[in-house]
Amino acid sequence: MLRLKEINYDDWMRIWSNCIKSNLLQSWEYGNAKENIENWIPHRFALIDNMGQDIGLVQVLLKKVPLIGYFARVNRGPIITIEVNGKYKKELILETINLLKVESKNRKWRVLQIAPELENSIEIINELKTFRLSHLSNEAWASGTFLLNMNDDDLIMQLNGKWRNCLRKGLKSNISIKYSNNCNEDLNLLFESYAMLKQKKQFYGMTESFIKDLSKQDNDNWKFNLFFAFEDSEQKKDPIGTLVSIFHGDTSIYLIGTSNSIGRKINANYVLLWEAVLKAKSQGSNWFDIGGLNKETPLGISHFKKGINSNLYQLVGEFRLINFFF
C-alpha cells in the first residue's frame, strides 16, 4: 500500500540520488525552470510504502487555466528507486497514478494529464484505460539509452561501426573542444547557432530564457554541460559545432546539438557527442539518453543518434482525467 507525501528540497535530493534512470522532466531543476519561465507551480511528492520507506518520486506541475480551473501535468513520472526497480515497477507506477487521481479530486485539479514512465504496450494502454483515463493521440516520447559503466575502450567498441569510424576521423581532424563555464558570452554563441538550426529545420524547440534558467542551476545532482567545437586550436574563429548535455543523476541527456557545414564535413558533431558521453560518465551517470527520436526527427539526425547504438525505447504516451465534480 503506497501513500504520497509532499516533500522539501533536501528530502527530494536524498531520494533522487537513489533513483534509477532518472529523467530530465522529473528533476527538481526542470520544475524550477517551468515555474520561473512558464508560471507552472511544481508539487513534489515522495512515494512511501507500508514500511515507511521512500521508494520513488513524482513531480506534478500545476497551472490555473481560465474557464477551466487547475490543470495538473505529470511528465515521465513517477521514477522509482533502485531497490524496487524491476518486476514491481509497473505495479508501483499504476498504484501511483491511482493515488494521483485521488489527489486531483481532493485538491480540486480539474484536469490531470499523465505521461507515465512506462514503455509502450497494448496491455499497458488497456490497463490504464480501466482507470477512467483517456489515451491522447499525440505521439509518445521515444529515445534510447546508452550504458556507461565500462572502461572507455569497451565503451567505444559499443558504438555502431560506421559511427565509430566517423568519430575516429573527427578525432584525427585536430578539432579543438572547449568545455564552457556557461557565461553569458558562451550562451549567446549557443543561442545564435540554435536559432539558425530551429529556423532551418522549422521547429520551435526551447526558448532562450528557458535554456538560460537551466544553465544557472548547479548542484551535486545537476550539471548543465555546454561544449563548443573549433576548427582552430586557438579557438579564435567562430565555433563549428555546439552541444548541450545535462547531468541529472543516474542519467545524463543530450539536449541540443548544432553544427555548420564545416563541422559536419570534419565530423565535429561526432566528437562533441563523444565528449558529452565521457563527461556524463565522469560526472557519475550510469546511462546516457540520446535526447529523443520521433517521426519528425530529420533522417540524418535520426541516423546520427541511432549510431551510438543505444537501447531504443518508446513510452506509452499521455493519458487524461477530467474531474467534472468535486
Per the CB < 8 A criterion, the answer to whether 249 and 283 are in contact is no
8-state DSSP, 26: G
- The pair phi, psi for residue 64, each rounded to 5°, is -90, 120
pLDDT attached to residue 178: 95
Give me 290's grid cell.
Answer: 540520446
- Whether residue 42 is preceded by a cis peptide bond, meaning omega within 30 degrees of 0, is no
Q: Which residue has the cell 524550477?
A: 32
pLDDT attached to residue 324: 85
Q: What is the pLDDT of residue 87?
A: 57
C-alpha cell at position 150: 565500462
Residue 70 class from Cβ within 10 Å (0-12 exposed, 13-18 middle, 19+ buried)? middle
Q: What's the CA gap between 48 and 4, in Å, rounded? A: 6
CA 150 to chain centre: 22
- DSSP helix/strand/coil, 209: helix
Q: What is the full DSSP assignment across 70-84?
A: EEEEEES--EEBGGG
Rounded-to-integer distance, Cα 308 and Cα 110, Å: 42
pLDDT of residue 86: 61
- CATH class, range 3-141+314-322: alpha beta
Q: Selecting from 3.20.20.220, 3.40.630.30, 3.40.50.800, 3.30.365.10, what CATH number does the domain 149-285 have? A: 3.40.630.30
CA pair distance 202, 191, nearest whole angstrom:
16
Neighbouring C-alpha atoms within 13 Å toward the C-beta of 203:
10
Q: What is the pLDDT along the chain (326 residues), one digit of tens a residue?
A: 899 999 999 999 999 999 989 999 999 999 999 999 999 999 999 999 989 999 999 999 999 999 999 999 999 999 999 776 665 788 999 999 999 999 999 999 999 999 999 999 999 999 998 999 999 977 899 999 999 999 999 999 999 999 999 999 999 998 999 999 888 899 999 999 999 888 887 778 899 999 999 999 999 999 999 999 999 777 777 899 999 999 999 999 999 999 999 999 999 999 999 999 999 999 999 999 999 998 777 777 888 998 899 999 999 999 999 998 77
Task: Give, as one character, the DSSP assignment of residue 119.
Answer: B
The domain limits of the chain are 3-141+314-322, 149-285
